[in-house]
Chains A and B, each alone.
Chain A
Amino acid sequence: MQLQWDWSIAMEVLPHLIRGLWVTLLATAGGMTLALALGLMVTMARRARFRLVSWPVGAAIEFVRCTPLLIQLFFVYYLIPDFGWNTPLVTGILVLGIHYSAYTSEVYRAGIDNVPRGQWEAARALNLNRQQTWTRVIIPQAVPPIVPAMGNYLVAMFKDTPLLYAITVQEMLTRATNFSSRVFSTVEAYTLAGVLFLILSLLAAGLIHRAERQLVVRET
């Protein structure tokens, strides 16, 4: 294995990596959207008074949290038949979304628990129905404080996307590996992939920090 840096190889691999980066970003965006939507549904389902709803959802979440993401990826990718629409990328987004919904649902739960009981009571005294209470009173108050925590999960998911390599999604790591084996040089591709991850993670962290500050400003 050679560890010498070759700028010409670096320049050659960069466009491949950028194309991979788009897939990485697509997987993250898709996965996070799913995790946010699913997480909220899970939170609501777990609050349901019917055990028939709340118990299985709780068990499923426990299962998801207690098994590694990589195994979940393999499981879904290799054990679920090919229906045509479930390309590696779609499978990856689904698994990322489901996996992270286990965590986002906890964040939602904390956010909802933090809304004072008096807000529920005011909503009832004003005769809002269930849905209005959730959409007009509870969720608008529960969400702003949890934006930073959700942002952290977004970055974590972004950094988990290289696992999609295992199911042949053409994301950055996959392309870096393919390229490296073609030119018999690993250092440029992996270093640049790492740098790209670093830049974007820092960027995202900065944005989250700013959103956090703005939310604090708005609250006072």
Chain B
Amino acid sequence: MNTNDSATQQPLVQIRNLQKRFGDVVVLDGLNLDIEIGNHVAIIGRSGSGKSTLLRLLMTLEKPEAGTICIDGEYLWHQQQNGQLVPASLAHTRRVRGKVGMVFQHFNLFPHMRVLRNVAEAPRLVLGLSRREAEARARELLDRVGLSDKADAWPQELSGGQKQRVAIARAMAMQPQIMLFDEVTSALDPELVGEALQFLRELADEVSMTMLLVTHQMHFAEQIADRVIFIDSGKIVEDDEPAVIFHHPRQQGTREFLNAVLSPADD
């Protein structure tokens, strides 16, 4: 896993005082978070605590009311101008957004494109690869996620687990520096969950990609993550190694949450 020398370099993601409201509902209330390169961070918390919102803010699917998100040294929503932070241009935000990739809870594959094109389309359009290069890379990635035989299938013809792998390949094809996963298993049939988690664990071990995962599966979080974050009331309550969070949580809130979600049989 991660060694201590990564602490000396600048974090890949720096979130400062992030605020997000929907109407009167304050979802994130001055959240701070640093993510180092190569971290596999699991986010846990009650339903409605703002886990998805945090990912969506990182993916620029939502805009924060206040605070900053800095990815690889560049602000997502701001630009530096004469030493001041000013609202970013669309082009700037778009460039920084390219460092982030996301695998959606419901995968959101393009139903009118075959699997290969689902993966190859954006690299061609956005990264400017030729059709040939883009498709070659897409085939490589499909091979890596074990779906080389499905390149010509329509998304509708795949199982939930296969769709998820295509979604992962599609996001990886853009070569992001950090990948976001929202509830990787909640849209899968129960019998597919174990396989999907196994696959993600292998992927996480295999690639050194920085990952931020929201999950309700505590065992999965414990196995895949090198860091677990518990969110409550729009703030990070506890942030530590899985062994600490799951076995010796320091905060009362974390203990209560874990007691509620972990049935005795799981313990």
Please give the residue numbers on chain A whose beta carbons come within 8 Å of chain B beta carbons, in ascending order: 116, 118-119, 121-122, 124-129, 132, 136-137, 140-141, 219-220
Verify B125–A132 contact, CB threshold 8 A. Answer: yes
Tell me the complex Cα distance, A201–B231, Å. 63
- Which chain A residue lies CB-closest to B56? A121
Q: What's the least CB distance linking B229 to chain A, in Å?
A: 22
With contacts A132-B126, A136-B125 known, what are 20 further pairs, Cβ within 8 A?
A118-B104, A118-B106, A119-B110, A121-B104, A122-B104, A122-B110, A124-B61, A125-B100, A125-B101, A125-B171, A126-B121, A126-B170, A126-B171, A127-B98, A127-B126, A128-B122, A129-B94, A136-B121, A141-B110, A141-B111
Q: What's the least CB distance linking A23 to chain B, in Å?
A: 38
CB within 8 Å of A: which B48-91 residues: 59-61
B248 within 8 A of A: no
Nearest 5 interchain pairs by C-beta? A126-B122, A118-B108, A122-B108, A125-B102, A127-B126
Q: Chain B's interface: helix, strand, loop or mixed, by majority?
A: loop
Tell me the complex Cα distance, A118–B61, Å. 10
Q: Which residues of A contact B156 (CB under 8 A)?
A: 219-220
Residue among B61, B104, B108 with most chain A CB within 10 A = B108
Q: Chain A's interface: helix, strand, loop or mixed, by majority?
A: helix
CB within 8 Å of A: which B97-125 residues: 97-98, 100-102, 104, 106, 108-112, 121-122, 125
Q: Which residues of A contact B97 (CB under 8 A)?
A: 124, 127
Number of B positions contacting A (CB below 8 A): 24
Verify A126–B111 contact, CB threshold 8 A. Answer: no
Q: What's the least CB distance linking A62 to chain B, in Å?
A: 31
B200 within 8 A of A: no
B174 within 8 A of A: yes
Q: Which residues of B contact A137 (CB under 8 A)?
A: 110
- Which chain A residue lies CB-closest to B127? A127
Residue among A118, A125, A219 with most chain B CB within 10 A = A125
Q: What's the least CB distance linking B49 to chain A, in Å?
A: 21
Tell whether A127 pairs with B106 under 8 Å between CB atoms, given A121-B61, A140-B112, A141-B112.
Answer: no
Q: Which residues of A contact B110 (CB under 8 A)?
A: 119, 122, 137, 141
Q: What's the least CB distance linking B17 to chain A, in Å?
A: 24
Tell me the complex Cα distance, A118–B104, Å. 8
Tell me the complex Cα distance, A118–B111, Å. 11
Tell me the complex Cα distance, A141–B109, Å. 12
Tell me the complex Cα distance, A95–B229, Å. 62
Verify B104–A126 contact, CB threshold 8 A. Answer: no
Verify B174–A126 contact, CB threshold 8 A. Answer: yes
Q: Which residues of A contact B174 (CB under 8 A)?
A: 126-127
